Amino acid sequence: MLLHLGLTLALSHLASSITSSSNFAPQKFRRALSTTLSTLLCTLLCTLGLALCLGGCGEDDEAIKTQGITALNDWFLAAATDNPPSCHAFGLVKFYDASCADMYEHAAKIAPESRTITSSKLLKCYGQGTQELCGEFVEIWLTSMDTRGNTIQEGAVLKRDDGVFRLYWYRSDTLFTTLTQRAENADDQGYERTLEDKQTQLEAVYAEIVQRQPALYQFVMCTDASVSSSKLVGKPVAPKDISAADMASRAQQCPENFCLALVGKRIAPLCD
């Protein structure tokens, strides 16, 4: 806009210089042209300087952390209502030992007014090994109390995609206890190996379809749902044929938890 304004003013000046004299001479034209070019050059330099100045002003770290904290507060508020909050799809794929229901049910056991943030920091990556994912993360730890007055430690990690923070990972003392007991009651090595193999396949397919169609990100992959014909929402589809529009239409038919499971080499939309 500044460049456009400068060009308009410069041309106006040149026109004025030409028409203001009844005896227009080549020397006057050259002087007017020289003045016009100087004005254009000055305007261009000023515009570039302003662009460089604005481009160098990145987001403040504290402002980013504040966005993450606000998103976490919103998630906590939703956890205590009849409209449970959603969780980051890749968070559920990477850390499949806890479902979204596990997380918001344990978060709802905390007295909201007791929550005190003890630390918050930005992370470029979160997780280790096959669980690691890189992007924009905020890690937040809190000291809280449950509804019985017991002191509880809570931790949450939020990931920002397209400028929006979503809950990626949440744990509390009580949730850790629940997951530990669940693991102890499971059929040790055989169960763990089967689950890991299935999860590896699930993660690979999910990553492929989301990379090809980012809009599919809104649909969570099933991590612990059993597949049955009564839960199917339409016929399973091959990964190459899946579309966000089709899944959105099927999701409207599901009043409960809509998720995508892997059956053989096809994706089965489930209403779990």
Both 102 and 172 in one domain: the answer is: yes
Both 159 and 222 in one domain: the answer is: no
Both 44 and 74 in one domain: the answer is: no
- Most confident by average pLDDT, 6-15, 103-112, 203-212: 103-112
Q: Range of 18's domain?
A: 2-55
Is-above-0.75 flag for pTM?
A: no
Distance of CA 77 to CAs 41, 98, 108, 188, 198, Å?
Answer: 56, 20, 8, 36, 33
Residue where a domain terminates, one of 159, 185, 211: 185
Q: What is the mean pLDDT of residues 54-69?
A: 80
Both 270 and 211 in one domain: the answer is: yes
Both 161 and 134 in one domain: the answer is: yes
Both 129 and 209 in one domain: the answer is: no
Query: Which pLDDT tens digit goes with each residue over 152-163?
Result: 999 999 999 999
Helices (H), the chain: 2-19, 26-55, 61-79, 89-94, 100-107, 173-185, 188-212, 244-251
Q: How far apart are CA 31 and CA 33, in angstroms?
A: 5
Both 132 and 213 in one domain: the answer is: no
Both 72 and 173 in one domain: the answer is: yes
Would you say residue 266 has pLDDT above 80? Answer: yes
Residue where a domain terminates, one of 185, 203, 218: 185
Both 205 and 267 in one domain: the answer is: yes
pLDDT of residue 228: 74
Both 48 and 147 in one domain: the answer is: no
Query: Which pLDDT tens digit goes with each residue over 63-103?
Result: 999 999 999 999 999 998 888 888 998 999 899 899 999 99
Both 79 and 180 in one domain: the answer is: yes
Question: How is residue 270 written in tokens?
Answer: 């489930």
Residue where a domain terminates, one of 143, 160, 185: 185
Higher model confidence: residue 168 or residue 203? 168
Question: For the chain, what is the domain count?
Answer: 3
Both 79 and 176 in one domain: the answer is: yes
pLDDT of residue 168: 96
